[in-house]
Structure 1
Amino acid sequence: MKLPPSQPLLLGKIGAAHGIKGEVRVTTFTQDPEAIASYGALQTDRPGLTITIDKLRLQKNVAIAHIKGVTDRNEAEKLNGVSLFIDRDRLPPPEDEDDFYHADLIGLEARLETGVVIGRVSALPNFGAGDLLEVQDPQSGDTFLYPFTKAVVPDIRIAEGYLTIVLPRDAPEGEEEPD
């Protein structure tokens, strides 16, 4: 299940103002954090608002951006929480079959190694400790989170519409897990 080429993809989210000259912190979802500034005008989740990052620098693990037309802290503070998008057709295609955009995973069937379908991928959240794969059970509606690592998700078949999840092995019955 691929997204149509014009489907907007989330590239980042503006955070708090930084300093007094209109700079903002940006959480980027691009492989290279500085790449977000190279795409020109970005769509936002605010109707009628388009943003262009004219300067960007990395400071420790945070991207600090200057938005074209924003000149002071008050204007920058108004942008806190704005999500930044780009139409998919403006992005380069993945270089090989093992490359993909996270958005390509949304809607894929999640299967166990045995081939049993356990649900569909509904999101890829990251709460700070790494990407997670959120899978929704179609019958109960419950969602389950799995670490999005090669060990847990060893096989991704976008063209075929599924990925494989390897569940962590529990301790044998009757044995307790070490503390």
Structure 2
Amino acid sequence: MNEQEKLITVGKIINTHGIKGEVRVWPLTDFPERFNANNSVLLDINEMNEELITLTVEHSWKQKNFLVVKFREIGDMNAAQAVKEGLLKVPRESLKELPGDSFYVFEILGMEVITDKGFSLGSVKDVIRTGSNDVYVINGREKEYMIPAVKNIIKKIDRKNRLITVEPIEGLLEL
């Protein structure tokens, strides 16, 4: 596993907030408590993991669909402006254990998708979070498929072999 795969992105700094160095973070995690006081994250400014900076949360609060976070290491608006667009990452080993039938998005991305009849649809290129259920965007050879991640369609997700087996309902693949 290379260095890139050892870190998981849990947020993105989308803007500054005020003059005291607070930033607006778009959370990319189902566990926003990662941004509670005294927790640490790694800042990746150039998306290449070449220069990672450890940041410690001083305080945070939810505002609309994002979080406002004050990091101890970011003292003013100029410092906050310098980290805008930066990705906030954590080591893979710090991830919370999920129930057996739950998966992190990064685990699903890139998995091959086949039908229960053995036909290859392609690989997962994106996961759309809709609120009620996720939708897997499959990059097929001839077209893109959008498969709802619901139990009556997704029959098996094999982590080890990176394979998802689906039983498409009538008309799903023709859309």
TM-score range, shorter chain: 0.7 to 0.9
Equivalence for 2:7: 8
User: Aligned in 2, Cα 1:31/1:21: closer, same or farther, shift over 3 Å?
Assistant: same
3-state secondary structure, aligned to 2:85: coil
What RMSD in Å do the two structures reach over aligned CA positions? 3.1
Shift of 1:25: 0.8
The yes-or-no answer on 1:112 pairing with 2:115 is yes
Percent identity reads 25
Q: 1:26 & 1:152 partners in 2: Cα distance?
A: 34
TM-score, normalized by length of structure 2? 0.74
Runs of at least 5 residues in structure 1 that lack an aligned partner in the other structure: 172-179
Equivalence for 1:42: 42
Equivalence for 2:70: 66
3-state secondary structure, aligned to 2:73: coil
User: Aligned in 2, Cα 1:29/1:153: closer, same or farther, shift over 3 Å?
Assistant: farther
Runs of at least 5 residues in structure 2 that lack an aligned partner in the other structure: none
User: Aligned in 2, Cα 1:160/1:62: closer, same or farther, shift over 3 Å?
Assistant: same
Equivalence for 2:92: 88
Q: Does the Cα contact within 8 Å between 1:34 and 1:56 map onto a contact in 2?
A: no
TM superposition outliers: structure 1 runs of 4+ over 3 Å: 3-6, 36-39, 125-132, 142-155, 164-171
Q: Does the Cα contact within 8 Å between 1:11 and 1:36 map onto a contact in 2?
A: no
3-state secondary structure, aligned to 1:26: strand
Q: 2:24 & 2:99 partners in 1: Cα distance?
A: 32
Shift of 1:43: 4.1
